[in-house]
Structure 1
Amino acid sequence: MTFVPTATIKLVIWDLDDTFWHGTLSEGPITLIEENLAIVRALADRGVVSSIVSKNDAEPVRRVLEEAGIWDSFIFPKVSWNAKGSQIAQIIDQANLRPDNVLFIDDNSINIEEARFRFPTMMVAYPQDVLPVLLTLPEARGKSDPEHTRLKQYKQLERKVVEQAESDLSNVDFLRQSEIRLRFDFDVERHLDRIVELINRSNQLNYTKVRLESDAALATFREQLQRHDVFAAAIFASDKYGSHGLIGFYMQQRTERENRLLHYVWSCRMMNAGLEQYVYERLGSPAIDVVGPVSNPIIVFDRVDWINDQVGEDEAEPTVAPRLLLLGSCDLTAVASYCSANRAEFVNGVKHGVMTRYDDFGFILDDANAVAASRALPALPAWEPRDYATFHHELAESEILVLSLSAALKGHHLVTGDGVVVRIHPEGLGHAIDHDPASPWLNGAAFYDLSLAQKLNLLERAVDLIDRCAVNASHLFLLGANTRDAAKPMNEADRSLARQYNEAAAALCAARPGWEFVSIDEVVAPSRLIDDRHYTRTGYLDIANHLNARIAAAEGAPRRTVSPNLPSDAPLVDLIRQGRKLSRLAIFGNRPKSQLAPIKQAVKLTPLSRMLRKAMA
């Protein structure tokens, strides 16, 4: 009967007596079939692995195959007098494969039918039907692997399975002693062939199953990699048993409004080790549309505390990453994707449908007692008192700070009636007023416009406070602003403001030990500008790589001297009130009246005092 494969062959399970060799070992001498030895070796050259299920005594079988130099070419060999169906099940489970991708070869019809009954989707065949054609089948062509990398990885997995079976440890305790390390390589283009293969071939742990099997799909994938809000990494794994190579891939779309996985796929070689959960939680538990079937849900364990990140390609012992604090505008959302998972983020984003800004001098300089006591602040579309408290706690604990504050020089400042200063996005303000035009937070509220000199003074005060409070920080980075044209010319007023910010920020950093100004104009190449404020994925990766390189270069340097913790000479609210009080909240632009909600039109055209009287009437 002609053998017809039904799926890609990843594993061939061999019977031995009268299949792999001539004769029955338990009854007398056997004769090895050289063609079969050659098939096993040729399959290994293609990354297709082999195993054994044989009713025999184990030691004689091992001795024969070792003498033939072929024993180490088999993974998870099962040699006993037990039923073959249960032994096949063990191999498939231990190899973390699906029956669909397994071929079982046996000369005995009872064994063939038992296997077919136990595993309806597994391929089964008699030796005379499959062996003459096996190496010619497209389903068995595999992928060139002359170094036998795939076989070595399965042998490492075999060692792990054997050691776990012989230990008295629970699965979690065994994982904790396995010294699992993950390395994230964000330069995914150099691994593109392997990533595409993983996406197209993996099924059990391909949670998204967005295949790249056409030129159009691959072109879309490449375009996604160039987007400024898309982040991706090839994931490599190793443990005490060896290196497992590229074992996972994710593509994440992360904006102020959304955090979603577009691709999430893993090799089955380290299934049940918690890798999928660890990375998923490391990415902030993004939204994902899981496409079944999958072998495991993403979340399996209460917590995963046995995996460490590995920095660099060497196998050095992992170290605990220093605590990282990110504060400021949304460009840090992109940079954060390439930074340590041991971090605290205070980065602009959307909460409850409106933008919340952390590049706000009020968030840094407001009086702690006023923030804690404020009744107006919780009602505003802005950062919350608990954000403020957490930030100032993290400020004292973090070892590396990355700040992006150029946008803090824009916009107006709201002073609440109970003395809290907040920089609110216009969209958020309009949303809040539309929702409740009589909200109590409007009582005594006023907007102020500050001169550039006043804003730069606030920038200096913010840097000084951070410098004093970040007592454990060894590196403090202040990101600059881009001043170059992208595809669309930059607004000249914005360019001028960016240049003045850069000049001031560079001077502030130069005067303080441990601080470094990061010139975006120098770090991000012009070809990686999407517009004057956004960069390609590789542009953000360049920023992260620059930060990591500067940290590494300063390793071993003397610890910075922290300035005395002196109070500011004037409360922030008093400084803001020195600005120009706005009698009109003209912050919604010059849109036609038909495009504005009535309350927004009132906000735009009505003096503040009259608006407040109307709201509270």
Structure 2
Amino acid sequence: MSTTFEAVTSQVKLVIWDLDETFWQGTLSEGGMTELAAHTQMIKALADRGIMSSICSKNDLETARAALETLGVWEYFVFPHIDWTPKGQAIASILDRAQLRAPNVLFLDDNHMNLEEAGFFNKGLMCVQAQGDLSGLLDLPQLKGKDDRAHSRLAQYKMLETKQAEQAAGALDNMEFLRQSQIRVEIITEIEPHMDRVLELINRTNQLNFTKKRVETTAARAELDALLATSGVHAGLVRVTDRYGDYGIVGFFAARVKFNGTTVHHFCFSCRTLNMGVEQFVWRRIGAPEFAVKGPVANPLDEHDEIDWIAEASSSDQVFSEQDDRTLCLVGGCDLLQVSFYCGTNRHEFVNKEDRGYLVRYDDPGFFLNPRKPLKHDQTLKKFPSWSHQDMEALDTALASSDVVLLSLYYAVPGDTFFTFGGKEWGGEYLIKVPPRTLKKFIKSDQALWFAKSFYHRRYTLDESLELTRRSLERVMSLVAQNTQVFLLTAATKTGQQAERTGGMRHAYNAMCRTFCDGQAQAHLVDLDALLLEEDFQDSDHYTRAGYFKIASCVNDFMTQAEAQTGLSEVAAE
């Protein structure tokens, strides 16, 4: 408690006012009140700064409301608590309803006992004993706020009031209320226009900031910019709407996806959507990566087994995204991990992974072409770090059940690391292409002799490698359903030293893919040279976030048009 403003030590998000002898002069129930014009203007000035005002007053609700309406400020107060109950627990209720922490809330009251009680029940609450004109508070840096003359923040809190009132009136439990709220989450991937909001979320959120990493210096800002420009980094802003209104941009995340796992750099949310399941929904949306949560946080990310009350909205802000109604099957290099992020969450992934410290790749003709049944109990395949028999069966099931198949198989062609193993024939019957990194590491291990005895090196020409890849594509088409669309990514040839060094091989692969797609109505070529600009490349085989988004948009746009055409055809048939 303080008789001056020295207790105001933290950023203020909410000011809670007593009324009698604080907001106005006099006692309403004992002869009326006299307006303090400075306080009437102060309420409006706080709203212009995005700082909310509430009331905790021992008074008759209807009488106090009528007085505040006469002063023209009733609509500026959120979560007012006007009755005759003790103030300590009443303020705790206000904080809970406003979803704010006590250290970001300022309580103004003329009675020191009320201030002591409020501080006891709300640890960290900033308490100031009211003495006359309090408008000097506006000069404190802690009440600087930010320009919100449109009163968007006030509108958001009014929306929250309406929600809570409707839930209470309808006697719905929390899950029922969430399911009828029609919550929509939109992931905004164009970060640059919203960098001010990104920094605000990183630096100002606490209750739902799961990494607690701040960006408060020039060096830290440079690191953030470099992170967002890094290949493989998924970053997004989270916007939320429901049937009560628009919460605006409430969250930010940045996570880097690689074959050996996902690193979460930032994951933070405003408390304005607390207890709606938004942060859990977004965590699942990016693949539910494991990371060290920096506590304390208001809610754990694994709080809900299933979040079926939130839908993802499209970037149009108006229409639900239909992407998550589609099932995807992804086979290829790590580039598909980046593309798939923008294509939906219902997907089967056969992309680079790590097994016992070794790189495993699925862009391998053997993974497609080997017979399944004979390899079910093959001990060689179980001992060597590679795709498994279970993976092969999972691929067949995924291809047969998916609406969209994305293939990036260029790395099935280059290199000299094809081997055969197993079976009854000399030299082995089953094909595998071992990643050079894995081969180099394995032959230096204590399993080198076993490998030499178990695997037979095959020296395939470029034409032979291309033919194996073409046969792999044929097998894919033999397994997919009639309406499944298959998208085949080319190899980039225009940018980077790797593309220059292997240009002939890349052109040959692209030509094979183009010829294959020309002969298959359900197969479509995604020509990266034509689709991407030079600035979309990180190197020959990795792209910027904008590049990955363009690839995904190409697929999504085609599917939307194809589904619309199918719908028109069905209507015509009826």
Q: TM-score, normalised by structure 1?
A: 0.86
Q: Which one-letter code corresponds to 1:12 in the other structure?
A: V
* CA gap 1:407/1:293 in 2 versus in 1, 3 angstroms: same
Of the structure 1 ranges 370-379 and 7-16, higher mean CA displacement relative to structure 2 is found in 370-379
Match for residue 387 of structure 2 among 383, 389, 393:
383
Residue 362 of structure 1 deviates from its aligned partner by: 1.5
Give me the whole-angstrom Cα distance separating, in 2, the residues matched to 1:400 and 1:222: 33
Give me the whole-angstrom Cα distance separating, in 2, the residues matched to 1:442 and 1:121: 68
| Residues 419-449 of structure 1, C-alpha deviations (whole Å, 9 max, x = no match) | 3322221332344455453887765531212
Match for residue 5 of structure 2 among 3, 11, 17:
3
Alignment of 1:508-547 (within 5 A): 508-547=516-555
Give me the whole-angstrom Cα distance separating, in 1, the residues matched to 2:320 and 2:232: 33
Q: Which residue of structure 2 aligns with residue 35 of structure 1? A: 38
Q: Which residue of structure 2 aligns with residue 131 of structure 1? A: 134
Residue 491 of structure 1 deviates from its aligned partner by: 5.8
Give me the whole-angstrom Cα distance separating, in 2, the residues matched to 1:100 and 1:265: 19
SS of 1:456's equivalent in the other structure is: helix
* CA gap 1:439/1:157 in 2 versus in 1, 3 angstroms: farther
Alignment of 1:362-381 (within 5 A): 362-381=366-385
Tell me whether 1:293 sits opposite 2:296 in the alignment.
Answer: yes
Tell me whether 1:154 sits opposite 2:157 in the alignment.
Answer: yes
Q: Is the 8 A contact 1:233 1:250 kept in 2?
A: yes
Q: Is the 8 A contact 1:416 1:442 kept in 2?
A: no
Q: Is the 8 A contact 2:39 2:133 kept in 1?
A: no
Residue 12 of structure 1 deviates from its aligned partner by: 0.5
Question: RMSD of aligned C-alpha atoms?
Answer: 2.2
Match for residue 248 of structure 2 among 233, 245, 251:
245
SS of 1:160's equivalent in the other structure is: helix
Q: Which one-letter code corresponds to 2:435 in the other structure?
A: H
Gaps of 5+ in 2: 424-428, 570-574
Of the structure 1 ranges 92-101 and 27-36, higher mean CA displacement relative to structure 2 is found in 27-36
| Residues 74-129 of structure 1, C-alpha deviations (whole Å, 9 max, x = no match) | 11111111111111001111111110000001111211111122224111112327
Give me the whole-angstrom Cα distance separating, in 1, the residues matched to 2:131 and 2:346: 58
Q: Which one-letter code corresponds to 1:59 in the other structure?
A: E
Q: Is the 8 A contact 1:207 1:264 kept in 2?
A: yes
Give me the whole-angstrom Cα distance separating, in 2, the residues matched to 1:438 and 1:528: 41
Q: Is the 8 A contact 1:377 1:441 kept in 2?
A: no
Q: Which residue of structure 2 aligns with residue 575 of structure 1? A: none
SS of 1:315's equivalent in the other structure is: coil
SS of 1:166's equivalent in the other structure is: helix
Q: Which one-letter code corresponds to 1:322 in the other structure?
A: R
Q: Which residue of structure 2 aligns with residue 255 of structure 1? A: 258
Q: Which residue of structure 2 aligns with residue 46 of structure 1? A: 49
Q: Which residue of structure 1 aligns with residue 217 of structure 2? A: 214
Residue 171 of structure 1 deviates from its aligned partner by: 2.1
Tell me whether 1:265 sits opposite 2:271 in the alignment.
Answer: no
Q: Is the 8 A contact 2:4 2:129 kept in 1?
A: no
| Residues 478-531 of structure 1, C-alpha deviations (whole Å, 9 max, x = no match) | 001111233xx3464511111111111122112211322111112221123222
Alignment of 1:184-203 (within 5 A): 184-203=187-206
* CA gap 1:149/1:385 in 2 versus in 1, 3 angstroms: same
Tell me whether 1:17 sits opposite 2:20 in the alignment.
Answer: yes
Q: Which residue of structure 1 aligns with residue 146 of structure 2? A: 143
Residue 159 of structure 1 deviates from its aligned partner by: 1.6
Q: Is the 8 A contact 1:2 1:130 kept in 2?
A: no
Q: Which residue of structure 1 aligns with residue 338 of structure 2? A: 334
Residue 40 of structure 1 deviates from its aligned partner by: 1.2
| Residues 332-362 of structure 1, C-alpha deviations (whole Å, 9 max, x = no match) | 1221222211111111122221111110111
Q: Is the 8 A contact 2:241 2:247 kept in 1?
A: yes
* CA gap 1:333/1:56 in 2 versus in 1, 3 angstroms: same
Tell me whether 1:321 sits opposite 2:325 in the alignment.
Answer: yes
* CA gap 1:114/1:262 in 2 versus in 1, 3 angstroms: same
Tell me whether 1:485 sits opposite 2:489 in the alignment.
Answer: no
Alignment of 1:274-313 (within 5 A): 274-313=277-316
Give me the whole-angstrom Cα distance separating, in 2, the residues matched to 1:210 and 1:414: 47
Q: Which one-letter code corresponds to 2:65 in the other structure?
A: R
Question: How many residue pairs get matched?
Answer: 559
Of the structure 1 ranges 14-23 and 452-461, higher mean CA displacement relative to structure 2 is found in 452-461
Q: Which residue of structure 2 aligns with residue 576 of structure 1? A: none
Q: Which residue of structure 1 aligns with residue 420 of structure 2? A: 415
Give me the whole-angstrom Cα distance separating, in 2, the residues matched to 1:130 and 1:477: 69
Q: Which residue of structure 1 aligns with residue 572 of structure 2? A: none
Q: Which one-letter code corresponds to 1:550 in the other structure?
A: F
SS of 2:458's equivalent in the other structure is: strand
Q: Which one-letter code corresponds to 1:354 in the other structure?
A: Y
Match for residue 181 of structure 1 among 168, 174, 184:
184
Q: Which residue of structure 2 aligns with residue 459 of structure 1? A: 469
Residue 474 of structure 1 deviates from its aligned partner by: 3.8
Give me the whole-angstrom Cα distance separating, in 1, the residues matched to 2:501 and 2:138: 68
Q: Which one-letter code corresponds to 2:267 in the other structure?
A: Y
Q: Is the 8 A contact 1:254 1:260 kept in 2?
A: yes
Of the structure 1 ranges 383-392 and 81-90, higher mean CA displacement relative to structure 2 is found in 383-392
Q: Is the 8 A contact 1:14 1:51 kept in 2?
A: yes
Q: Which residue of structure 1 aligns with residue 106 of structure 2? A: 103
Give me the whole-angstrom Cα distance separating, in 2, the residues matched to 1:378 and 1:305: 38
Q: Which residue of structure 1 aligns with residue 564 of structure 2? A: 556
Give me the whole-angstrom Cα distance separating, in 2, the residues matched to 1:491 and 1:219: 30
Q: Is the 8 A contact 1:324 1:401 kept in 2?
A: yes
Residue 304 of structure 1 deviates from its aligned partner by: 2.2
Q: Is the 8 A contact 2:380 2:454 kept in 1?
A: no
* CA gap 1:554/1:68 in 2 versus in 1, 3 angstroms: farther
Give me the whole-angstrom Cα distance separating, in 1, the residues matched to 2:411 and 2:132: 71
* CA gap 1:485/1:318 in 2 versus in 1, 3 angstroms: closer
* CA gap 1:456/1:317 in 2 versus in 1, 3 angstroms: closer
Q: Which residue of structure 2 aligns with residue 87 of structure 1? A: 90
Q: Which one-letter code corresponds to 2:436 in the other structure?
A: P
Q: Is the 8 A contact 2:442 2:448 kept in 1?
A: no
SS of 1:289's equivalent in the other structure is: coil
Percent identical among aligned pairs is 39
Q: Which residue of structure 1 aligns with residue 485 of structure 2? A: 475
Q: TM-score, normalised by structure 2?
A: 0.92
Residue 540 of structure 1 deviates from its aligned partner by: 1.7
Q: Is the 8 A contact 2:419 2:434 kept in 1?
A: yes
SS of 1:231's equivalent in the other structure is: strand
